């Protein structure tokens, strides 16, 4: 479905009623719309190529401010009002009033996952406390500790020590920061499954034996080719890049969501029965651009220029597919 969208497809791209009705993440985390925006506009700023490369301290502030709210509209609203966002000019006094005004017009946080408030800072609004958290991180040089970390787990420890930053959020943030040119941690080092993934794991494996949730996610990653072959699944990988731990973690989360409707009698850990977010088709075109250090952007470009009429791009219900662009 993602590749069809890249080629210009619009409207429903599958006959699966659950995938047509509800919102799911991509198989690869980095291909999701919000992460693509983070990469292209927040971190690498591809629309402003004349700008000199930013310091990691600037990147750190920009990524945290974007990801705490995880909402493109919030980020763009901030840019309209305060201009450039960087470490030197960052302050609660500068950003806070803008967020107050944005909140008065609608939600400033994404509903994708719960973002707990760092109430230790004592301010009345959740967003002001989060701004204080970023200020605190800068004051205590968390960015420098992450920038000099020798492993992803060492950077993760620096994040999880911060107020309101739990294991799942710390793992997500260190994954985002690792997309930057300043870091180059392997994504196969460790994984911290979130609540949704734990639900999905419990639905897939009734008796995991002595394997922990991270063990199972790692097993899924390490045996992905074998598992796909056994099930006859023709999987389009990320132009040669296999699923990483964070991707497999996300897939178990999406399995939990899908099964709430497809298999409602399988309750999982949380006993959630509904999928909250409906799928709303967007008019803007999809894009695919990844950290240059992955070495796949030229492959994506070549694929987009090649003949799209190939079996792996066929949907199972041609009546739901509109004509592709050239």
User: Where in 77-180 does DSSP place strands (E)?
Assistant: none
Tokens of 204: 């897939």
Domain residue spans of the chain: 30-177
206 Cβ partners below 8 Å, 6+ apart? none
The Cα 149–Cα 156 span in angstroms is: 9
**Residues β-bridged to residue 278:** 22
Sign of CA dihedral 294, 60, 110, 78: negative
Residues in the chain: 326
CA 260: distance to chain centroid?
Answer: 22
Q: How open is the CA angle 282-283-284, to the nearest 5 degrees?
A: 95
Strand, helix or coil for residue 9 = coil
Give whole-number Cα distances, 62 to 59, 97, 183, in Å.
Answer: 5, 18, 15
Rounded distance, CA 272 to CA 276, Å? 10
The angle subtended at Cα 218 by Cα 258 and Cα 232, nearest 5°, is 55
Q: What CA–CA distances, in Å, run from 213 to 151, 202, 226, 297, 315?
A: 21, 9, 20, 32, 33
Instruction: For residue 22, list its beta bridge partners.
Output: 278
Angstrom distance (rounded) from CA 275 to CA 19: 11
- Look-up of token digits 């927040």: 42
User: Scanning the structure block, which residue is given the tokens 């047509």?
Assistant: 20
CB atoms within 10 A of CB 195: 15
pLDDT in tens, the chain (326 residues): 899 889 887 777 889 999 999 999 999 999 999 999 999 999 999 888 778 889 999 999 999 999 999 999 999 999 999 999 999 999 999 999 999 999 999 999 998 777 889 999 999 999 999 999 999 999 999 999 999 999 999 999 999 999 999 999 999 999 999 999 999 999 999 999 999 999 999 999 989 999 999 999 999 999 999 999 999 999 999 999 999 999 999 999 999 999 999 999 998 888 888 998 898 887 777 889 999 999 999 999 999 988 555 444 433 333 333 333 32
pTM above 0.85, yes or no: yes
Q: Rounded distance, CA 242 to CA 72, Å?
A: 28
Residue-wise DSSP of 173-212: HHHHHTTSTT----TTS-----HHHHHHHHHH-S--TT--
The pair of three-digit structure tokens given for residue 75, joined into one six-digit string: 């980020």
């Amino acid at each position: 479905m993602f590749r069809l969208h890249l080629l210009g497809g619009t409207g429903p791209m599958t006959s699966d009623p659950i995938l047509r009705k509800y919102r799911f993440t991509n198989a690869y985390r980095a291909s999701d719309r919000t992460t693509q925006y983070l990469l292209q506009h927040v971190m690498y700023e591809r629309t402003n190529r004349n700008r000199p490369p930013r310091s990691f301290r600037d990147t750190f502030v920009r990524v945290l401010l974007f990801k705490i709210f995880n909402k493109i509209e919030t980020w763009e609203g901030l840019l309209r009002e305060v201009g450039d966002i960087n470490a030197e000019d960052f302050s609660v006094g500068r950003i806070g009033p803008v967020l107050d005004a944005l909140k008065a017009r609608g939600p400033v946080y994404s509903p994708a996952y719960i973002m707990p408030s760092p109430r230790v800072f004592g301010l009345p609004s959740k967003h002001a406390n989060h701004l204080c958290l970023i200020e605190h991180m800068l004051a205590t040089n968390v960015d420098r500790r992450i920038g000099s970390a020798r492993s992803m787990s060492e950077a993760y420890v620096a994040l999880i020590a911060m107020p309101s930053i739990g294991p799942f959020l710390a793992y997500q943030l260190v994954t985002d920061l690792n997309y930057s040119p300043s870091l180059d941690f392997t994504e196969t080092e460790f994984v911290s499954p979130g609540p949704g993934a734990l639900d999905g794991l419990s639905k897939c494996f009734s008796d995991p034996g002595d394997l922990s949730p991270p063990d199972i996610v790692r097993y899924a990653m390490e045996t992905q080719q074998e598992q796909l072959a056994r099930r006859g699944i023709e999987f389009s990988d990320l132009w040669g890049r296999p699923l990483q731990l964070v991707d497999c973690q996300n897939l178990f989360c999406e399995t939990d969501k899908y099964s709430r409707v497809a298999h409602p009698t399988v309750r999982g850990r949380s006993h959630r029965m509904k999928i909250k977010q409906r799928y709303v088709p967007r008019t803007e075109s999809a894009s695919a651009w990844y950290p240059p250090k992955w070495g796949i952007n030229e492959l994506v470009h070549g694929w987009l220029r090649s003949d799209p009429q190939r079996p792996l791009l066929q949907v199972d219900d041609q009546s739901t597919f509109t004509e592709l662009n050239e």
